[in-house]
Structure 1
Amino acid sequence: MLSYIQYQPSSLLARYIECYWIFKVPLMAASVVERLIPGGRVELMINLGHSMHFLANDKLEQGDLIDQVHVMGQRNRIYYAKSSGEMYMLGARFKPGGIHAFTRLPASELLNQVISAEDVLGGTLKGWKNRLREKKTDAEQIALLDLLMQQLVQYTTTEWNDCTKIIDIIRQDNVLSVNELCDENESYYKKLERSFLKYVGYTPKHYYRIVRFNKALRQMQFNQKSLTAISHDCDYYDQSHFIKDFRQFTGTTPRQFQSETHHIADFLISQQPV
């Protein structure tokens, strides 16, 4: 049976880390190709099971291997995951912009990438996998992971604080346009764009698209509304614009998506905020 459980970070890290998680998949379900829908976050992934392939499309047999401790960057298109065997993975999901508290690498360099965590967070990660594997319970593993993450925290800047305020506004239900946000915060777009690329890894307008799509996807999954109504509620110009985003971010149509089983996507849609 598949198991996905989220855990809250310590108060020291709650500003930067959205949650920790443990994902386990038995051997019988391991060969299923799962959709990885963009959610605007960076993930730290620690693989304690068989290797997982990060695939650019669902027809590939192999892709970037996630077999040690990796950082999976935020994405602006659909990707896929396929395990080579029984899956047992721990992770830390950073809040949008939160990765900056642990690295000086611009978030834009992480876009659509799977990178060795040591290249992003530093060489102090050597031995993390073995130390976590030695713990007997999930709770002990999460407690150790939180302690290890505390040791990596760096300072943040006023610019970062200002950027996270804009992120929070965009994630609210009644969001202004990006240009209106600039006017309200007495900023100009190019300055905000530089800040977003540095901390979030998207331009403000592309991040807005990611958030808007995820709001629409949650409405589609949990509310009995037509696509036209959802498009209107989520500020799409029309239904065709929504379907265009849907294809880019899921790789399929709304009807096909609803007819399929998506273990990872369903877990995140139900448990992860927009």
Structure 2
Amino acid sequence: MQLTDNTILITGGASGIGRGLAEAFHKLGNTVIIAGRRKALLDEVTQANPGMHAIELDIASAASIQRAAAQLTRDFPKLNVLINNAGIMPFDDAAGEIDEDTMLATVGTNLLGPIRMTSALVGHLKQQPRATIINNTSVLAYVPLAATAVYSATKAALHSYTLSQRFMLRDTSVRLQEIAPPWVNTDLIVKSDDPRAMPLAAFIEQTMAALASDKEEVVVESALPMRNNAGPNEHALVNEFNAYIAANPIPVQ
């Protein structure tokens, strides 16, 4: 994608990868709008980045998405980039009973949210001379983390949806890119500074460079083995990865 002269909406833009992308695009002179549920956090980010805009949005609510889309197209008629970044990552137990509310919240936020957000804005995006939709999935779409089975499944589903949507938009001005992050040191679960997590600054730097290349999939070098795992023998790496995590748990406190 072209990295300048854009009007960009980033869901979940007040923290973690979303905030990192928002600040990187803001520094390049783009008009950036961050969206999220926590007004205080939105205000904190916009105050730290003068000229950045914010809008309250509950990505798990279809009604909130429709209200936000109407406001965005009215107030930012040049909106031409949508970054579907908002997500939650609760732990679960696929071998036991999964809490119903947690399951629905994960699917509603990580899968239905991006689908609804794109659906609400795609008509507007197709009217722009050039536009981009970026879906933030995860390498766990390819090598699921068994302890977050529902989260991993939503990311696999969003990857699949992205492939279909890219094809369906092939004859329009809208391009589809996908970001598939590895474990990045953010507060998605807890910001633990675990040495196994990729530093956020390094991830943003490499991701921005890859976005500029018009790659359909943006996968940082350290995550390529997981991205390339798909195939008839994929279970071997999935089992090896999860056995390692089970023996070396992710800190959650």
Which range, TM-score by smaller chain? under 0.3
Larger radius of gyration: 1
Compute the TM-score of the two structures, normalised by the length of structure 1.
0.24
